[in-house]
Structure 1
Amino acid sequence: MRLTEAEIPFGFKMTELGPLPEEWRVVRLGEVGEVITGRTPSTARREYWDNGTIPFITPPDLDGRPIRRANRTITKEGLKESRPLPRGAVLVSCVGYIGKIGVTDVDLTVTNQQINAIIPKNMNNWFLAYALMHEDDLLANRARMTTVPILNKTNFEKVPIPLPPLSEQRAIAHVLRAVQEAKEATERVIAAMRELKKSLMRHLFTYGPVPADQTDRVAMQETEIGSFPAHWRVVRLGEVAEKPQYGYTASATKEPVGPRFLRITDIQNDQVNWSTVPFCAIEDDSLEKYQLRRGDILFARIGATTGKTYI
């Protein structure tokens, strides 16, 4: 919804991008740097690819972070058939999935033709990257909708972006980079904790609750499900739990027409955000049968997530 003149905050002005500080300008991407569309060396020429060391960046490599490596590499011979990019180039996927972003963080890289690169001039590269992340819908809307969406170089260069003074660009980029780096550090800690958990589970379900330096004292046995302590038994799931119950089949809705309707996709990283779980309509007699109770173990029995569990 467009603001009226009276609704625009003091010190701001209305632009095609919405209200912006009065000292900011709106410019086109082609005005803030050189735009380079990538190129793929012939895959039939093995000398362009075999034992290459130069990152060859494609859209799957773009995740909003500094790019130091890629899934594929090319050789110096392949580089002659590509368009080299320096450190600090801002990369944007413009074919297929529109708007994936990355910033090169090594001295020499190349991209395929699905990516446009911007070599900024008198503009902070990370501010530009974040501005483009913020405008992902605008980028998608500028793409030509064919079987595969395409944002060609000409239209890409015409995309409007905000341009504050350079000092403000640096300050904004610094804050957003700090937040992103903190998020990435947290993700690394979480990943490390998951690996630790896996390691502990392997130990506990193999030797039991004994210290790692005392495993040689544990009498072991070989069973149909592997090695574990000799005093343990192998039983069937039906011996230690009530009969498994399939989940209820219904259409999910955002309207509170009944209880929350938990789906396997609602379980992410061993957690459920119950505020986003939809509802479903269900008769009282069926509710008694299908209602979950504290301590129930949920198990995905079909599909790509088979084996996923939640308590």
Structure 2
Amino acid sequence: MQKPLPKGWKWVKLGEVADGEKFSIRMGPFGSQLKKHELVNEGIKVLWIENIVDNEFKWLDNKSITEGKFKQLEGFKVKPNDILTTTMGTIARTCVVPSNIGKAIISSHLLKISPDLSRINPTFVAKYMSSGFALRYFDKKAHGIVMKGLNTSIIKNLPIPLPPLSTQHKIVEILEEADNLRKLRRQADEKMKDLIPSLFVRMFGDPATNPKGWEMISLGDVCNKPEYGVTATATNSFIGPKFLRITDIQNGNVDWNKVPYCECSDIDRNKSRLSIRDIVVARIGSTTGKAYLVRDCPDAVFASYLIRLRTNDSLLPEFLFAFMDTKSYWTQINSVKGTRLKQGINIPVLINLKFPLPPLPLQQEFAKLVEGIEAEKARQAEGKKKLDELFNSLMQRAFTGELVA
């Protein structure tokens, strides 16, 4: 049931506020209409779902099509102020097409909406489409078992609370101001990501060239016996320890609140129990070689698709983990892995990785600096959380008429 709206507002369907021109709401071309071999490096740009990041348009070095192909697909062209949304994968990522778009078309898994600008501020609609109100609607209506998707009918029938155009402009102005604070936070986070790799190179040099002339060693020389994890079934029931899997490691972090549990024997539990400063490495799949340094954890074991490394007294895990983010590490991993995602890597591959071993005092100095950087990251993450909460609160109030009079 739709909630009552303030005076002057009304509920409309998204399809009702398109500009009414031909192809004003249209899904991207099917695969048979645009094939890979028809893409070229220079020409008229093709927009993909990757062009929408954090509900904003992002310029990429997109593949293009020829003028001749564009004439065949002209019904899929976009223009400034069109609204784009993703229809597969992470559905309903939404943005407004920038004014300098030039000639471009959408690809499959994108849908474009050309709004009636006499009634609609496109940014108002785009922000509503990314709000909790709209996302709940899309999640309920989306189809598909393995991967959820949206179709044109679902999107056209999205109910939108429509205030007068002047009110839309005011709401957008407030939300944009709040969103700019979040952008600054994201920019600071991006810079923070580069600090540890830069510090590593500054203190130790490139491991591939070993400019300090330190002894080259194999990982097996400075690690206790690596181990594979436990084979078990993940469950949300509180029946045993937390069960860390490859998919629980995102951007170098683990949200332990979202990690499931598992039932395992006492022998497996003791053998595979994680400790602070353990390093686990993905041994199979598209993220083969991805590493995670355990900085805190509850009672937890790790899954069989992970390999645990524990260093001895001559190697600090902070140094090893930073090395595992270098080009030298990935060159060695990729030379073994190649394109064989299912075969991945194993313990013999890891223990034969080569790198220079710096003096322990220098490693300790590095670890101390890393500790400070990680503490700052944690503070920034808390600040980001508060900004997100503020923005979500503003979004909630914006589309119920509580934000502006």
Task: Tell me, yes or no, whether TM beats 0.5.
Answer: yes
Aligned to 1:25: 10
Aligned to 2:393: none
Q: Distance in 2 between matches of 1:286 and 1:85?
A: 57
Aligned to 1:9: none
The correspondence for 2:262, drawn from 265, 271, 280, is: 280
Report the Cα offset of residue 104 of structure 1: 0.7
The within-5 A match list for 1:213-228 is: 226-228=209-211
Aligned AA (1:30) = G
Report the Cα offset of residue 193 of structure 1: 2.8
The correspondence for 1:65, drawn from 56, 60, 75, is: 56
Aligned to 2:128: 131
Give the number of aligned pairs: 276
Report the Cα offset of residue 19 of structure 1: 5.4
Aligned to 2:381: none
CA contact (8 A) 1:127 1:170 kept: yes
Q: Summarize the Cα distance change of 1:204–1:19 in structure 2 as closer, same or farther, 3 Å threshold.
A: farther
Aligned to 1:213: none
CA contact (8 A) 2:138 2:154 kept: no
Aligned to 1:220: none
Query: Which ranges in structure 1 are unaligned for 5 or more consecutive residues?
Result: 1-15, 209-224
The within-5 A match list for 1:67-82 is: 71-74=62-65, 80-81=71-72, 82=74
CA contact (8 A) 1:43 1:49 kept: no
Aligned to 1:119: 115
CA contact (8 A) 2:41 2:63 kept: no
The DSSP-based 3-state class of the residue aligned with 2:216 is coil
Q: Does 2:194 match 1:199?
A: no
The DSSP-based 3-state class of the residue aligned with 2:210 is strand
Q: Summarize the Cα distance change of 1:148–1:307 in structure 2 as closer, same or farther, 3 Å threshold.
A: closer
The DSSP-based 3-state class of the residue aligned with 1:299 is strand
CA contact (8 A) 2:39 2:63 kept: no
The within-5 A match list for 1:21-170 is: 21=6, 23-34=8-19, 35-37=24-26, 51-52=42-43, 54-63=44-53, 64-66=55-57, 71-74=62-65, 80-81=71-72, 82-83=74-75, 84-94=77-87, 98-107=91-100, 108=102, 109-112=104-107, 114-121=110-117, 122-134=119-131, 135-139=134-138, 151-152=151-152, 156-170=155-169
Q: Distance in 2 between matches of 1:71 and 1:301?
A: 32
Aligned AA (1:56) = V
The DSSP-based 3-state class of the residue aligned with 1:180 is helix
Which one scores higher on RCO, CA 8 angstroms, separation ≥ 6?
Answer: 2
**Higher helix content, 1 or 2:** 2
Which has the larger displacement, 270-279 or 139-148? 139-148
Report the Cα offset of residue 47 of structure 1: 11
Aligned AA (1:279) = Y
Q: Summarize the Cα distance change of 1:285–1:179 in structure 2 as closer, same or farther, 3 Å threshold.
A: same
Q: Does 2:168 match 1:186?
A: no
Report the Cα offset of residue 50 of structure 1: 6.5
Aligned AA (2:97) = T
Report the Cα offset of residue 254 of structure 1: 1.6
TM (normalized to structure 1)? 0.71
Report the Cα offset of residue 263 of structure 1: 1.9
Q: Distance in 2 between matches of 1:298 and 1:304?
A: 16
* CA offset digits 1:7-39 (Å, max 9, x no partner): xxxxxxxxx444544653111223323224367
* CA offset digits 1:170-189 (Å, max 9, x no partner): 33323333343333333333
TM (normalized to structure 2)? 0.57
Aligned AA (1:89) = D
Report the Cα offset of residue 160 of structure 1: 2.1
CA contact (8 A) 2:10 2:161 kept: yes
Q: Summarize the Cα distance change of 1:93–1:262 in structure 2 as closer, same or farther, 3 Å threshold.
A: closer
Q: Percent identity?
A: 30
* CA offset digits 1:17-66 (Å, max 9, x no partner): 445446531112233232243676x869x9996632x5432333233103
Aligned AA (1:171) = K
Larger Rg: 1
The DSSP-based 3-state class of the residue aligned with 1:193 is helix
Q: Summarize the Cα distance change of 1:297–1:238 in structure 2 as closer, same or farther, 3 Å threshold.
A: same
Aligned to 2:325: none
Q: Summarize the Cα distance change of 1:22–1:281 in structure 2 as closer, same or farther, 3 Å threshold.
A: farther
Q: Distance in 2 between matches of 1:297 and 1:143?
A: 39
Query: Which ranges in structure 2 are unaligned for 5 or more consecutive residues?
Result: 295-405
Report the Cα offset of residue 128 of structure 1: 0.3
Aligned AA (1:227) = N
Q: Summarize the Cα distance change of 1:78–1:229 in structure 2 as closer, same or farther, 3 Å threshold.
A: same
Q: Summarize the Cα distance change of 1:86–1:303 in structure 2 as closer, same or farther, 3 Å threshold.
A: closer
| Structural RMSD (CA) | 3.7
Aligned to 2:212: 229
